[in-house]
Amino acid sequence: MDESELCPCKHGEGFGVCCGMVLAGERSAATAEALMRSRYTAFAVGDTEYLLRSWHPRTRPRTLELDPDQRWLFLEIVRTERGGPFDDTGTVEFIAHYRADGRRGSLHEISTFNRVDGAWVYLDGIIEP
Q: Measured between alpha carbons, how far is 44 from 104 in angstroms, rounded to an integer?
A: 15
The answer to whether 39 touches 23, Cβ cutoff 8 Å, is no
The CATH class of the 19-128 domain is alpha beta
Of 72, 94, 91, 41, give the one whose Cα is nearest residue 50.
Answer: 41
Q: Measured between alpha carbons, how far is 86 from 96 in angstroms, rounded to an integer?
A: 27
The domains of the chain are located at 19-128
Residues 7-50: tens digit of each pLDDT: 999 888 999 999 999 999 999 999 999 999 999 999 999 999 99
pTM: 0.95
